Structure 1
């Protein structure tokens, strides 16, 4: 299903194939010979999304741009089932395995592999050819690859993460953080009320 969002319509190359149960919303450009499979969601929430040629987006993957962080995915990249990419720049020939999570502001170089359930945190920079092992976490610039049991080191490596501030515009020290966060985010998401279905 294709949706116009905030006045922008998806642009899909004639050679790309988008499954009828995928959702493509807003300022999204899908390049030549891309494949977007069933249940995938590609949604431009105020920032653009571009997929280079021969990008494959597997079932139930999520790609989301924001006003602060657009998404670019380079050619010959595979986004695995249940993977999510939010506001990141991705090079060419990258492999995101099932359940990989890529957060806002991350830079993933050419020919990287982010394996099953691995995480690339906000603003992490993966040089070309980096492999993030199954379930591990990539943080920082220069990047550190840490096993999930090293939570203290993961936290120490990202002192400026400020996820609520950067993504939702709410200071982490706000006493009613979740009240402020959900009210602001709901207001932003309510812009979908005016979306228009433009094609199957």
Structure 2
């Protein structure tokens, strides 16, 4: 399904294949030879999304751009089932395994592997040919790749990356943080009420 969102329409190469149950919304460019499988969602929420050539986005994966963070996925890369890329830049020939999460402002270098259920945190820079092991967390610039049981170190690094400020423009110490976050974000997402189905 294709949708016009905020006045922008998807641009899909005639050589790409998009499953009928996939959702492509807004300012999205999908290159030649791409395969977008059932249940995948590629949604541009105000900034563009660009997929190079021969990108595979598998079942129930999500690629999202926010109003301030574009998303780009380089050629010959694979986004596995139930993986999520939010406002990040993925270089060529990257493997994002099932259940991986790559957050806003992150950059994943060419030829890297982010294995099953691993995380590349916001504003993290993963150099070319890096490997994030199954379930591990990559965080920071310079990056540290940490086992999930190293929560205190992950939080120490993550805290300074300021997720609520960077992604939502809100101070972490705001007393009613979740009230403000959900109201502000909900208002932005409500712009979908004006979307127009194209196919």
TM class by shorter chain equals over 0.9
- In structure 1, the residue matched to 2:37 is 37
Distance 2:87 2:160 in 1: 17
Gaps of 5+ in 1: none
| Secondary structure in 1 matching 2:167 | helix
- Structure 1 equivalent of residue 5 of structure 2: 5
Matching of residues 177-196 of structure 1 within 5 Å: 177-196=177-196
CA shift for structure 1 position 181: 0.5
Q: Distance in 1 between matches of 2:142 and 2:171?
A: 26
Q: Equivalent residues in 2 for 1:116-135 (5 A)?
A: 116-135=116-135
Offset of 1:145 from its aligned partner? 0.4
1:106 equivalent in structure 2: 106
CA–CA separation in structure 1 for the residues paired with 2:107 and 2:169: 22
How big is the shift at 1:159?
3.6
Q: How far did 1:166 drift?
A: 1.5
Alpha-carbon deviation of 1:27?
A: 0.1
Q: Distance in 2 between matches of 1:136 and 1:56?
A: 23
What's 2:17 paired with?
Answer: 17
Whole-Å separation in 2 of the counterparts to 1:172 and 1:127: 29
Gap runs ≥5 in structure 2: none
Q: Does 1:81 align with 2:81?
A: yes
Question: How far is 1:128 from its partner?
Answer: 0.4
Give me the whole-angstrom Cα distance separating, in 1, the residues matched to 2:179 and 2:155.
24
Residues in 2 aligned to 1:84 and 1:27: alpha-carbon distance in whole angstroms: 18
TM-score under structure 2 normalisation? 0.99
Mapped partners of 2:121, 2:76: distance in 1: 23
SS at match of 1:64: strand
In the alignment, the residues of structure 2 paired with residue 14 and residue 160 of structure 1 have an alpha-carbon distance, to the nearest angstrom, of 44
The whole-number CA distance in structure 1 between the counterparts of 2:67 and 2:183 is 18
Deviations 1:90-147 (A, max 9, x none): 1000000000000000000000000000000001101000000000000011110000
Mapped partners of 2:126, 2:17: distance in 1: 30
Q: Secondary structure at the match of 2:85?
A: strand
| 1:90-169 aligned within 5 A | 90-169=90-169
Q: Which runs of 4+ in 1 moved over 4 A?
A: none
Identify the residue that residue 27 of structure 1 maps to in structure 2. 27
